[in-house]
Amino acid sequence: MAVTTPNPLAEVRLRTQMFAGGDFVDAVSGRTYPVENPANGQTIAEVAEGGVEDVDRAVEAARRAAPGWAATPPADRKKLLQRFADLIDENSEELARIETLDVGKPISDTRSLDIPDSAATIRWHAEATDKLYDQVAPTGPGAVAMVVREPLGVVGAIVPWNYPLQMAAWKLGPILATGNAVVMKPAQVTSLSLLRVAELGAEAGLPDGVLNVVTGPGSVVGTAIARHPGIDGVAFTGSTEVGRTVLEHSARTNLKRVALELGGKSPQIVMADAANLDRVADRVANAIFWNMGENCSAGSRLLVDRRVKGPLLDRLVGLVERDWIVGDPMNDTTRVGPLITKSHMEKVLGYIDAGRAEGARTVVGGGRVREDSGGWFVSPTIFDRATNEMRIAREEIFGPVLSVIEFEGEDEAIAIANDTDYGLAASLYTENVRTAHRMARAIKAGVVGVNNYSEGDLTTPFGGFRQSGFGGHDKSVHAHDQYTNLKTIWIDMGE
Ligand code: NAD
C-alpha cells in the first residue's frame, strides 16, 4: 500500500506496511497505529502495528535467506550493497522529506547529513566486503591453522528515533556486508524512512528475506527480538534503561550476542588557554543544539574554566539568539525543529523546571515556543551556575538544554568530567598539546574530540564506556567484529 501525503511540501510515497521476506505485509493482527508530524501534531500515516507473530514471520524469512547470503561471494555482495547505496542517493530528496516530516529534523540537516551519510555508510562497508582477509596462524610445520570470520546468521537490530535512517544504516552496512540476514526494528514513532529504504534494497537486488523490517511498539516487537531463539545476535541503540532489559532477555533465553550503544551526558571542557572563543562557542553550541539536542553524544555539560566563563557565555547567548532559529523544519533556514513527541517535550520542560528549582539560572531560552503551530518546540536553553550534582547535569535530557559548570584547573575539570554514569563522548578545548594529550587520555569516554566536537568519521569506531554501552562499535571495520564469529580451523598435516 503506497499513500501520497496531502502535504504539498512533501511529495513523498509513504510505505506503511512491514517488510518481510521481500514483501510489504500487514500486521498479522491487522492492527495499525497513527504516526504524527511533530511540527504540527497532525497524523501523517497509519503504520502496521507488529506483534510477536510478526517477529516470528520476519525471523523465519531471515533464517531461510541467511545461508544463501552468507555463501554469496563477497565481490557480489559488495556490488549489491553499492547499488543499494546508490539508490538511497538517487532518492535522497524524497527520503530527506520523509525524515523531516516524521522526525521534525530541519530539512537542511536531513538533506546534508542524515540521508547522504546513510548511503555513504552502506557504501563504505560494501567496499570493505572483498578487502578484508582472514588469518593463517604461525604454527609449526605439522599443522595449518586458519582463523576465519563467519557471519552470526540472523541479527536483530533495534534502533532509536533520533537519527532513524542513519542509525539503521550504521547497523545495516556491517551486518549485511559480513553476510548476515537482518530483522530491523525502527522506533515506533519513526519507521517511514527505513520502510522506504527496505523497498530500495529490494530494488537493488537484495535477496528476499535478507533485510526485514518489523514496525510497532518496542515493549512488544523489541522484546520479541531480544528473546527470539532464532536470532543469533542483537545490536541495540537506544536508552540505557532499555539496553539493560535487552541484555536480560538475552541472558534468560539463548544468550544471543548483544551490542549496546546507549545514552550519554557528555562533557565539553574549555580550558583557560582555549584559542578563539568565537570558534569555541560555535562548536559548543553545535554540540548541544544540533538535532534539537536529541543526540546521544550531545555535549550537554559545559565545563569551563572560571577565567573564561563570562566571555564564552556571552558569545553562546549571542549565537543562540542570532543563529539557532526555531521554526518549521521544512524551511531551509530553520536550525531547530520540534522535539519528537508531546511526551518527550514535557519531559524536557520538566528538566528545565528542575534546573530552576535546584538553583541554576537560565541565561537564554527556557520554555516552549511556537505553541500555535501545534508542534512540540522548545527553545535552545542555557543554564548558568549549574553544579554537577544537579539532575540537569546528571541525567540525559535529550533536548536542547546546556548546563554550564565552572572549574578551576585541570584536575577539577577531569574529576567533574568523569563524575557521571556515562562515557560516550567528550570534547576538550586547549592550545597546549601536552594538556590535550594528558586530558584526552584521562577522560573516560569512547570518543574524545580535541578543539572540536567530533565523533570522527566512517573510518573510526563509535561506542561508549561504562553505562553508555559495550559489546561492539558502530562504524569502521571494528563494526564487523560484532556481527561475526571467530573460528579456528586446525588442519593436521601429518608430519
Ligand atoms: P529507547 O531505548 O526508548 O528505544 C530505542 C529502541 O528500542 C526503539 O526502537 C524502541 O521501540 C525499542 N524498545 C523500547 N522498549 C523496548 C523493550 N522493552 N525491549 C526492546 N526494545 C525496546 O530510546 P529512544 O528514546 O528511541 O532513543 C533515545 C536514546 O537512544 C537516548 O538514550 C540516546 O542517548 C540513545 N542513542 C544512543 C546512540 C549511540 O550510538 N550510543 C545513538 C542514538 C541514540
Per residue in 147-159, pLDDT tens? 999 999 999 999 9
Question: What atom in ligand 1 is closest to the CA of residue 424?
Answer: 41
User: In whole angstroms, what is the distance from residue 293 CA to residue 242 CA?
Assistant: 20
Tell me, in angstroms, the distance from the centre of ligand 1 to residue 48's CA.
20
User: In whole angstroms, what is the distance from residue 406 CA to residue 385 CA?
Assistant: 8
Question: What atom in ligand 1 is closest to the CA of residue 462?
Answer: 40
Q: What is the pLDDT of residue 5?
A: 44
For residue 332, count other CB atoms closer than 10 A to its CB.
9
User: In whole angstroms, what is the distance from residue 441 CA to residue 435 CA?
Assistant: 10
R_g of the chain computed on alpha carbons: 23
Nearest CA to ligand 1 atom 16: 218
Return all residues near 229 (Cβ < 8 A) that are at least 6 apart: 253, 254
Total residue count of the chain as it appears in this document: 495
Q: What is the pLDDT of residue 64?
A: 98
Q: What is the pLDDT of residue 6?
A: 45
Q: Please tell me whether residue 458 adopts helix, strand or coil conformation.
A: coil
H/E segment holding residue 417: helix 410-418
Residues with beta carbon inside 6 Å of ligand 1? 158-162, 167, 185, 187-188, 218-219, 222-223, 226, 237-239, 242, 245-246, 261-264, 296, 396, 398, 424, 464, 469
Residue 116: alpha-carbon gap to chain centroid: 15
- Alpha-helical (H) ranges within 293-341 are 306-322
Give pLDDT < 70 ranges for the chain.
1-10, 495
- Cβ(303)–Cβ(413) below 8 Å: yes
Residue 296 is among the residues annotated as catalytic for this protein: yes
Tell me, in angstroms, the distance from the centre of ligand 1 to residue 93's CA.
26
CA dihedral 121→168→95→189, nearest 10 degrees, is: -160
Tell me, in angstroms, the distance from the centre of ligand 1 to residue 185's CA.
11
User: In whole angstroms, what is the distance from residue 386 CA to residue 495 CA?
Assistant: 72
Tell me, in angstroms, the distance from the centre of ligand 1 to residue 262's CA.
7
Nearest CA to ligand 1 atom 20: 222
Q: What is the pLDDT of residue 495?
A: 64
